[in-house]
Chain A
Amino acid sequence: MNWLTSYTNLASAYIKINFKSLLAYRGAFISQMVAMFINDFVWIAFWCLFFTRFPVVKGWGVNDVITLWAIAASGFGLAHMIMGNALALPGIIMRGELDSWLLYPRAVLPHLLLGKSSASSWGDFLFGIVVYAIFVKPDLPHFSLFMALICSVAVLFVGFSVFTGSLAFFMGSAESVSVQLRIAMITFSTYPSPIFQGFVKILLFTLLPAMFVSHLTVSALRNMSMLDALYSFGGALGVLLAGIIMFYVGLRRYESGNLMEMRG
């Protein structure tokens, strides 16, 4: 229990510090947030146009897709506004920059992940909540479940980023592969799940676990199904566990970059 309290305190301290450092470049921070807001909104506009012409796609309506986008964007945003280094992991490993993180009396992975906040992720996070509140107009139980599912999706995205980022321990230059896998995961996560069938559906429950974002969360919210919400959490924890194992197995192969580095 002491362990949990200690890491919660560490996380809240890092969130505060990272937020303050983002505010040091206020103009750039706000413009990145707004840019991400616009980027996400274009996709909502696309789906609104699409559903104006074709009102239902395999049982999904426009509100389902907006819900999906809201959960995916906010989940991704929450993950990387708190654990922004998850996105930079392959580069950090490849350049031998783990050294400074290995010296701290903390578990390497959570400490490393907390070390940075992604500015644009704040835009993603806010976008999801605003869009869900304005377009879907949820009642309190739906909104509460929505917020809980955002946490589940955030755990999944962190786990997936750690898993793909840790490929750098084994492949060396894994930055491009990691980015491509992450983009594929995000892309598959933001389309209605019923359009994928057969082998691809199995793939999306396993290697590219997008169904835990796009299928179970929307189903949980649509039917207020706690079982689907639990499956979603279970899947997210499974992906996180796989990421943690991959990281620590890979860490045994890590070679120092002998870099002189100072962290302020």
Chain B
Amino acid sequence: MSKYFYIALTSIRSRLAYLGELGSKTIFLFVVLYIFLCLWKVTYAETNQSSLGGLSLKQMLWYLVVTESIIMSLPTIATLVDQDVRTGALAMQLVRPMSYPLNMLAQTSGERVLSFALNFLVGSIIALIFVGPLDFNLSGIAMFLLLIPLSFALDFTIYFLIGLAAFWLEDTTGLTLIYSRMTMILGGMLIPLELFPDGWQQILRVLPFSAIVYGPARVFVTGDLQVFLSVLIQQIVAILVFAFVIRIVYNLALRRVFSHGG
């Protein structure tokens, strides 16, 4: 297990060398958060409500800080796997004394943790300037810190599966884009699930997208124990299901690997 930990650590160190590049992406975060603040300010004012979907304007901006940080920290998991398959680099990975999926999980997790931390830090500063501090409670933060790594792990399993599709498909970029956009819209990145039409909410709550984006963000801003427990169960079940599917698909895919010489 320790070798995967060191792979993650090495990935963080190598990303730290390009901190400037990571930092430049936070300009977009600033623009997005500012625009959403303007949009929601107008919406709260026009509806004459102090709370929409159970969130105040301050909570709404902090909610967006978390959701945007989760989405913007995404490494190019599917593309990496796709390239390994397409270029044949996967064959080189297979002779190493480690599991390829776990190696990829460690590598991309290190990158994601660093990117998330930076986005979250910048987003928090923006939120502090625009709407002030959130009424944090320690249990809420602890629950959030438990959900975030599981959210990343769940997201990884789905992107890894999409990357494996390169064994059968000519191009996986379309699938990657569709999944990422579904996570954005159905996962509650732009609007909390409570503001979706009533009929949709029950369906969206059981889909994995909400466990990746909405769940951690909602728990962070409200510290709601009930939401925490349901999201935690949803994450664990989804990770187990997708890990099982990866195992089957990965074994099927390995039968299609032919390596010779080189």
B117-165, CB < 8 A from A: none
Q: Judge whether B31 is part of the interface by a CB distance below 8 angstroms.
A: yes
B18-38, CB < 8 A from A: 21, 24-25, 27-28, 31-32, 34-35, 38
Q: Which A-chain residue is minimally distant from B181 (CB atoms)?
A: A42
- Cβ contact of B174, chosen from A34, A46, A57, cutoff 8 A: A34
* Contact status B191-A57, CB under 8 Å: no
Q: Given the known A-B contacts A38-B178, A57-B39, are A46 and B190 also in contact in the complex, defined by CB atoms under 8 Å?
A: yes
* Contact status B181-A180, CB under 8 Å: no
* Contact status A27-B171, CB under 8 Å: yes
Q: Which A-chain residue is minimally distant from B20 (CB atoms)?
A: A176
Q: Judge whether A202 is part of the interface by a CB distance below 8 angstroms.
A: no
A55-76, CB < 8 A from B: 56-58
Q: Given the known A-B contacts A42-B184, A49-B191, are A184 and B28 also in contact in the complex, defined by CB atoms under 8 Å?
A: yes
Q: Judge whether B195 is part of the interface by a CB distance below 8 angstroms.
A: yes
Q: Is the interface of B mostly helix, strand, loop or mixed?
A: helix
Q: Judge whether A9 is part of the interface by a CB distance below 8 angstroms.
A: no
Interface centre among A27, A180, A188 (most CB of B within 10 A): A180
- Cβ contact of A46, chosen from B31, B43, B191, cutoff 8 A: B191
Q: Judge whether A187 is part of the interface by a CB distance below 8 angstroms.
A: yes
Q: Given the known A-B contacts A50-B191, A187-B32, are A195 and B171 also in contact in the complex, defined by CB atoms under 8 Å?
A: no
**Shortest Cβ distance from residue A127 to the other chain B in the assembled complex, whole angstroms:** 13
* Contact status A176-B31, CB under 8 Å: no
B-side interface residues, number (CB < 8 Å): 30
Complex Cα distance, B77 from A53, in Å, reads 35
- Cβ contact of B181, chosen from A39, A187, A195, cutoff 8 A: A39
Q: Judge whether B203 is part of the interface by a CB distance below 8 angstroms.
A: no
B190 contacts across to A, CB distance below 8 A = 46
**Shortest Cβ distance from residue B166 to the other chain A in the assembled complex, whole angstroms:** 13
A54 contacts across to B, CB distance below 8 A = 43, 46-47
A26-60, CB < 8 A from B: 27-28, 31-32, 34-35, 38-39, 42, 45-46, 49-50, 52-54, 56-58
Q: Given the known A-B contacts A176-B24, A187-B32, A187-B35, are A31 and B171 also in contact in the complex, defined by CB atoms under 8 Å?
A: yes
**Shortest Cβ distance from residue B258 to the other chain A in the assembled complex, whole angstroms:** 23
* Contact status B42-A38, CB under 8 Å: no
* Contact status A188-B191, CB under 8 Å: no
A42 contacts across to B, CB distance below 8 A = 181, 184-185
- Cβ contact of A195, chosen from B25, B42, B170, cutoff 8 A: B42
A192 contacts across to B, CB distance below 8 A = 39
Q: Which B-chain residue is minimally distant from A186 (CB atoms)?
A: B31
Q: Which A-chain residue is minimally distant from B171 (CB atoms)?
A: A31
* Contact status A58-B28, CB under 8 Å: no
Q: Which A-chain residue is minimally distant from B178 (CB atoms)?
A: A38
* Contact status A183-B31, CB under 8 Å: yes
* Contact status B38-A180, CB under 8 Å: no
Q: Judge whether A196 is part of the interface by a CB distance below 8 angstroms.
A: yes
Q: Given the known A-B contacts A180-B28, A188-B35, A191-B39, are A49 and B181 also in contact in the complex, defined by CB atoms under 8 Å?
A: no
**Shortest Cβ distance from residue A166 to the other chain B in the assembled complex, whole angstroms:** 19
A180 contacts across to B, CB distance below 8 A = 24-25, 27-28
**Shortest Cβ distance from residue B173 to the other chain A in the assembled complex, whole angstroms:** 6
B184 contacts across to A, CB distance below 8 A = 42
Complex Cα distance, B38 from A194, in Å, reads 10
B5 contacts across to A, CB distance below 8 A = none
Q: Which B-chain residue is minimally distant from A195 (CB atoms)?
A: B38
Give 17 CB contacts A-B under 8 Å. A35-B178, A42-B184, A42-B185, A49-B195, A57-B39, A57-B42, A57-B43, A58-B46, A187-B28, A188-B31, A188-B35, A191-B35, A191-B38, A194-B42, A195-B35, A195-B39, A200-B34
Binding site for A on B (CB under 8 A): 21, 24-25, 27-28, 31-32, 34-35, 38-39, 41-43, 46-47, 170-171, 173-174, 177-178, 181, 184-185, 190-191, 195-197
3 tightest Cβ-Cβ pairs between the two chains A and B = A42-B181, A195-B38, A35-B177
